[in-house]
């Protein structure tokens, strides 16, 4: 029996560790009645079971360890003792030897507070960089079973076990992290076990940072000690890379909608081709980013898009023929109707002359397998289209250089030079601008197709049982059909504005495009992005459909070109 002190100001917390105690109901709070003063015989008059306040803790030697951390203020004043029920111990059974350690102490004296929150008004990335230095050294005494840390740090700390003094035997230290904002509702979320081999080494403790992290959130760290030893350990700020790694880990999933939202906003600025609208788009995006506090995500997404654009350009330049041959062989194996050479010729011809054949092949794949597979294949088709555009561009650039060289040799006068104009002003697009526009659309295309990968994996796993996936999500199925159809027909392109366009309709459509991009940025700052993940393909499908139909909506009147 452990008596509950009357003066709870000095001793208000009780910690118990029971090792190898194989008893379901093992700890109680009760009111003790003394039967005989001479024999000190006591019985419990009334009591309650405290088993619901206990938990199983890890043990470095793989023993069963039951733990109780009890705030005595939560116990009714009518109870006088804490009772631990220990069964009869079998002599000689060293393997299952029962050990019970108790520690009665003041929680305030055993709690150390560590403040590393930094400047409160700074955004999270800058707060991580400019966090102040903090260091706490703690020395324990023999008989201490617990030490508590209240850590006000949003990212990570280093825990260093500097020295252990005591008996010359194996030693251990158990770290348990309890985070108040975690969805597990005050349960232990992290365990770390240190032994004599870890003395002098640094143990990184990563906080499970939430998107709604507030400055008053406190991380509770419970340190379990061996009462036979005295410990000296130090807590200090983690390194910049570790803290940034923790920050990225908790926010990387925001990059996907952020990158797509930025691409849609860039496409909107290239539609109306107006510098004033570019400034408006930048201002709108900046205001949304400041309000949503996604500074880190927006800069990383911009850098990611730059890297992806460079990688895409390199792939188009250096691996176009490889992808062409692989696609031809895949179609030859998948359809099993004609040899790979025929499909290679077909791929080279369908972009300009037979685009409906690509659409027909993809819809055959949709009907025989699933729409997600067709969406991934449409990415390959779009890539092959970009390689052909690049080859045509290089050829035209070479011919233009050759014509300029010939003109310099012949020294033809200016009045005899022939000016060549095209009959269709909407199709008269600079080749460089056209390639950049299609590069932006292609990046939107393959980023959106990431959502089709899980469905494709399910189809591939069940292919031996069922060649067609019948459980495909209806919303995704429709989105993949729409995107595959527009892409394979070659209708996806950013049409430049011309003087004959209806300005009001063009501005309305461009504004709609900006709103769609802002919706994706708004999704990026939501608490749980997984709840809105299904909305990304429909939003992109609607946006691509609007891009395809823009020339028909903004056409105001027919103009005869003489």
Confidence check: pLDDT of 422 > 70: no
Tell me the domain boundaries of the chain: 2-105, 111-238, 252-382+420-554
Check if the beta carbon of residue 259 is closer than 8 Å to that of residue 305: yes
Pairing of strands 99-105, 13-19: antiparallel
Write the CA distances from 317 to 198, 320, 386, 490, integer angstroms. Answer: 52, 6, 10, 21
Taking CA 110 as the corner, what is the angle to CA 109 and CA 114, rounded to the nearest 5 degrees?
100
Q: Where are the beta strands (DSSP E) in 196-318?
A: 202-206, 219-225, 229-237
DSSP 446: H
Question: What pLDDT does residue 295 have?
Answer: 81
pLDDT attached to residue 261: 92
The CATH topology of domain 111-238 is Jelly Rolls (2.60.120)
Coil, strand or helix at 272: helix
Here the tokens at position 534 are 């299904």
Give the model confidence (pLDDT) of 338-355 as tens digits.
Answer: 666 666 666 666 655 556
pLDDT at 423: 43
Q: Model confidence at 558, in pLDDT bands (50, 70, 90)?
A: low
Give the pLDDT score at 137: 93
The residues facing 559 across adjacent strands are: none
pLDDT of residue 247: 76
Would you place residue 334 in the very low, low, confident or very high pLDDT band (cuts 50, 70, 90)? low
Q: Which residue has the higher pLDDT, 233 or 392?
A: 233
* Overall average pLDDT of the 147-173 stretch: 85
Split at pLDDT 50, 70, 90, the class of 311 is: very high
pLDDT of 121 higher than 60: yes
What's the confidence (pLDDT) of residue 156?
A: 85
Highest mean pLDDT among 450-454, 460-464, 487-491, 495-499: 450-454
Distances (CA, A) of 253 to 126, 217, 297: 20, 23, 9
C-alpha–C-alpha distance, residues 298 and 303, integer Å: 9
Strands (E) across 363-501 are located at: none
Higher pLDDT, 393 or 193: 193
Cα–Cα distance measured from residue 534 to residue 452, given in angstroms and rounded to the nearest whole number: 11
| Of 405 and 173, more confident | 173
Q: How many CB atoms lie within 10 A of CB 237?
A: 19
β-partners of residue 65 are 19, 57
Q: What is the pLDDT of residue 332?
A: 67
Dihedral angle of Cα 304, 310, 312, 318, to the nearest 10 degrees = -150
Mind listing the pLDDT tens digit for each residue in 514-547? 899 999 999 888 877 888 888 999 999 999 998 8
pLDDT at position 414, please?
43
Which tops the pLDDT comparison, 399 or 221? Answer: 221
Q: What burial letters (b/e) apply to 420-446, b meaning 16+ CB within 10 Å?
A: eeeeeeeeebeeeebbebbbbbbbbbb
Angle between helices 255-272 and 431-448 (to 10 degrees): 150
Confidence tier at 416 by pLDDT (50, 70, 90): very low
Check: CB of residue 62 under 8 Å from CB of residue 72. Answer: no
pLDDT at res. 341: 67
pLDDT at residue 284 tops 50: yes
| pLDDT given for residue 395 in this prediction | 74
Query: Percent of the chain scored above 90 by pLDDT?
Result: 23
Q: What is the pLDDT of residues 66-112, one digit of tens each?
A: 999 999 888 888 888 899 988 876 565 666 788 899 999 999 999 99
- Residue showing tokens 């139909």: 549
Residue 167 has pLDDT above 70, yes or no: no
Distance CA 58, CA 56 (A): 7
Tell me: pLDDT of 365 over 50: yes
pLDDT tens for each residue of 494-518: 877 776 767 788 888 888 888 999 9
């Amino acid at each position: 029996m452990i008596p509950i002190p009357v003066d709870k100001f000095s001793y208000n917390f009780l910690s118990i560790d029971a090792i190898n105690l194989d008893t379901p109901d093992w700890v109680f709070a009760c009111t003790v009645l003394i039967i005989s003063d001479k024999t000190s015989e006591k019985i419990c008059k009334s009591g309650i079971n405290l088993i619901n306040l206990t938990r199983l803790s890890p043990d470095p030697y793989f023993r069963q360890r039951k733990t109780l951390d009890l705030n005595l203020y939560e116990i009714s004043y009518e109870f006088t003792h804490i009772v631990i029920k220990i069964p009869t111990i079998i002599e000689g059974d060293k393997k299952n030897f029962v050990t019970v350690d108790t520690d009665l102490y003041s929680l305030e004296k055993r709690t150390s507070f560590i403040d590393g929150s930094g400047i409160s008004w700074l955004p999270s990335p800058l707060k991580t960089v400019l966090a102040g230095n903090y260091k706490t050294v703690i020395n324990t005494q023999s008989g201490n079973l617990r030490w508590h840390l209240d850590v006000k740090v949003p990212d990570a700390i280093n825990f260093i076990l500097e020295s252990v003094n005591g008996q010359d035997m194996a030693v251990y230290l158990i770290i348990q992290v309890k985070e108040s904002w975690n969805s597990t509702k005050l349960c232990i979320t992290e365990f770390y076990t240190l032994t004599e081999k870890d003395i002098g080494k640094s143990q990184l403790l990563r906080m499970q940072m939430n998107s709604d992290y507030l400055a008053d959130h406190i991380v509770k760290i419970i340190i379990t000690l061996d009462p036979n030893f005295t410990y000296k350990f130090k807590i200090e700020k983690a390194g910049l890379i570790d803290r940034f790694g923790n920050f990225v880990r908790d926010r990387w999933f925001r990059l996907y909608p952020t990158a797509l939202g930025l691409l849609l906003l860039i496409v909107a600025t290239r539609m109306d081709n107006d510098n004033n609208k570019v400034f408006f788009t930048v201002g709108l995006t900046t205001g949304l980013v400041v309000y949503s506090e996604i500074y880190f995500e927006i800069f990383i997404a911009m850098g990611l898009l730059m890297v992806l654009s460079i990688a895409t350009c390199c792939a188009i330049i250096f691996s176009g023929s490889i992808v062409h041959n692989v696609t031809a062989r895949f179609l030859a194996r998948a359809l099993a109707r004609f040899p790979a050479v025929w499909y290679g010729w077909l791929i080279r011809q369908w972009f300009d002359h037979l685009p409906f054949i690509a659409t027909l092949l993809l819809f055959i794949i949709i009907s025989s397998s699933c729409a997600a597979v067709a969406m991934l294949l449409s990415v390959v088709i779009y890539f092959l289209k970009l390689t052909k555009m690049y080859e045509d561009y290089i050829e035209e650039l070479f011919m233009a250089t050759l014509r300029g060289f010939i003109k310099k040799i012949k020294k033809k006068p200016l009045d005899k030079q022939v000016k060549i104009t095209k009959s269709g002003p909407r199709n008269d697009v600079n080749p460089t601008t056209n390639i950049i526009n299609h590069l932006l659309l292609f990046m939107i295309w393959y980023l959106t197709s990431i959502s089709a990968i899980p469905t494709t994996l399910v189809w591939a796993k069940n292919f031996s049982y069922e060649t067609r996936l019948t459980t495909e999500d209806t919303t995704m199925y429709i989105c993949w059909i729409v995107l595959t159809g527009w892409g394979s027909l070659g209708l996806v392109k950013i049409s430049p504005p011309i003087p004959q366009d209806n300005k009001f309709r063009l501005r309305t459509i461009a504004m709609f495009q900006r709103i769609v991009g802002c919706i994706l940025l708004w999704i990026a700052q939501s608490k749980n992005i997984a709840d809105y993940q299904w909305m990304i393909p429909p939003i992109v499908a609607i946006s691509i459909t609007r891009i395809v139909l823009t020339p028909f909506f903004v056409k105001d009147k027919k103009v005869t070109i003489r």
